[in-house]
């Protein structure tokens, strides 16, 4: 929202289920809507030229029905509303989790199939959501962006959980610590979405695109670097990947059997994500969207906080020119 407003776009709107004064202060129209309600979602699409659908339930644990409502039905209702109101373009924010098969992958491309046996409700419903996007008849022209492991200002999932675990001395390395992983700074994620705008009439639709920094990192070395930067305790303990995956699967069974709602300290999916290689080719996004990531994963974090929106605006203006 900040980037769109700073770039001078008018009639920028965002849906929210609550009051959002931080958006209203930017001049953004806040549309109060529950996207799991078909009529509410339909109303939210009226009068729009382009929809960025970023709403989702993330995480690795929770009610399958809630994941389905938020990730699948909300996507369907927004597509139906877009069709009814003649919205021409629809950009869906997806996830590389849709192709995760429980094993290492290096330089994976968009030709990879969907996961055969999704490890949790998040993976399963993001697969279903993409199928809604690409299978909707007579709807808007649509594409799916798949940013991997987003970090940076506003991150509620990745690094805050690492920091919390480190502070409580619960952070344990999974595997040998050499696995290579792609991450994506929020500035690059925003830029990938903005890159669609000057290409609305080009042949970019009906496709999915992996989005990353383009510079895979050694996950555990990177985390150690960040912990040192934050002045937090280093990682001192480790567990083999096979042991961690089996432990995660066992904890999941126990929690489901006991009907505990809280998330287990480890799941099979989390263990595999922490111990396996998972890197993705962004050549398709470079070629068709002109996506050119700028933030090196090892860039000084404090400096980056100040420059995020300014960099995004400058980069998009370069794309337009």
How many CA atoms does the CB half-sphere of 156 hold within 13 Å?
3
Around Cβ 171, how many Cβ atoms within 10 Å?
20
Contacts 24+ apart (CB under 8 A), 24-29: 26/1, 26/2, 28/1
Determine the Cα–Cα distance for residues 197 and 8; give it in Å rounded to an integer: 13
The answer to whether residues 207 and 283 touch, using CB atoms and an 8 Å cutoff, is no
Residue from 67, 122, 209, 280 carrying the catalytic annotation = 122
Buried b (16+ CB within 10 A) or exposed e, 228-254: eeeebeebeeebebeebbebbbebbee
- DSSP for 43-82, written as a single string: HHTTT-SEEEE-----SS-S-HHHHIIIIIIHHHHHHHHH
Among 46, 48, 44, residue whose Cα is nearest residue 17: 44
Are residues 296 and 213 in contact, defined by beta-carbon separation less than 8 angstroms? yes
Q: Does residue 298 carry a catalytic annotation?
A: no
Residue 292 burial class via C-beta count within 10 angstroms: exposed 0-12, middle 13-18, buried 19 and up: middle
Is residue 192 within 8 A of residue 291, CB to CB? The reply is yes
Strand partners, 50: 89
> In this structure, are residues 157 and 164 in contact, taking their beta carbons and an 8 Å threshold?
no
Catalytic residues: 122
């Amino acid at each position: 929202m900040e980037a769109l407003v700073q770039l001078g776009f008018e009639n920028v709107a965002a849906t929210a289920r609550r009051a959002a004064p931080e958006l209203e202060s930017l001049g953004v129209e806040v549309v109060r809507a529950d996207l799991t309600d078909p009529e509410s979602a339909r109303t939210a699409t009226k009068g729009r030229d382009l929809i960025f659908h970023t709403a989702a339930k993330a995480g690795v644990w929770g009610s399958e029905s809630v994941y389905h409502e938020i990730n699948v039905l909300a996507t369907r209702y927004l597509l139906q509303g877009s069709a009814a109101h003649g919205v021409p373009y629809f950009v869906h924010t997806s996830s590389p989790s849709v192709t995760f098969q429980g094993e290492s992958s290096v330089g994976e491309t968009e030709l990879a199939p969907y996961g055969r046996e999704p490890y949790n409700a998040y993976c399963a419903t993001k697969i279903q959501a993409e199928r809604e996007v690409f299978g909707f008849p007579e709807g808007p022209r649509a594409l799916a962006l798949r940013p991997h492991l987003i970090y940076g200002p506003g991150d509620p999932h990745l690094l805050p959980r690492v920091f919390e675990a480190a502070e409580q001395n619960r952070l344990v390395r999974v595997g040998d610590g050499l696995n290579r992983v792609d991450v994506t700074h929020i500035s690059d994620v925003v830029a990938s979405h903005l890159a669609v705008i000057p290409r609305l009439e080009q042949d970019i639709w009906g496709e999915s695109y992996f989005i990353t920094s383009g510079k895979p990192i050694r996950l555990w070395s990177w985390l150690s670097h960040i912990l040192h930067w934050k002045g937090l305790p280093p990682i001192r303990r480790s567990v083999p990947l096979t042991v961690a995956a089996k432990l995660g699967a066992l904890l999941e069974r126990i929690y489901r059997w006991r009907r505990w709602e809280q998330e287990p300290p480890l799941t099979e999916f989390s263990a595999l994500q922490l111990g396996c290689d998972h890197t993705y080719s962004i050549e398709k996004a470079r070629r068709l969207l002109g996506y050119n990531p700028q933030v090196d994963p090892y860039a000084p974090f404090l400096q980056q906080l100040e420059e995020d929106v300014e960099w995004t605006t400058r980069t998009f203006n370069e794309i337009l020119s």
